[in-house]
Amino acid sequence: MKINLKKQQLIDELFNKVKERYPEIIFKDLQTSPDDPEHIWINVIADMDEDREIEMNHFSASLAIDILIDFGYALSIMSENPNAVYI
């Protein structure tokens, strides 16, 4: 995965803004989307209840859309909840 300086700054900015509002998230790693190698996923561990995780996903998506419109970089916060129960 090739990340230029501006893209790295935007990744850091997006993560930090989300972390400021949701301090329980922890950075895990970066990954490219399997569908689009230009779309960077910022994987985080989100130890929170489902409602808060949904709220965080909406908040981060809104910020990511602004980055896409303003700079042309597709970034997404992808949360992994260790407490999620899948039925």
Amino acid at 70: D
pLDDT at 84 over 90: no
Question: From CA 47, how far away is CA 49, in angstroms rounded?
Answer: 7
* Cα 61 to chain centroid, rounded: 8
pLDDT tens sequence across 29-38: 999 999 999 9
Q: Which CATH class is domain 5-80?
A: alpha beta
Q: Looking at per-residue confidence, does 65 or 86 come out higher?
A: 65
pLDDT tens sequence across 28-72: 999 999 999 999 999 999 999 989 999 999 999 999 999 999 999
State residue 85's pLDDT score: 60
pLDDT category, 81, cuts 50, 70, 90? confident
Question: From CA 53, how far away is CA 48, in angstroms rounded?
Answer: 6
Tokens at 19, concatenated: 């972390």
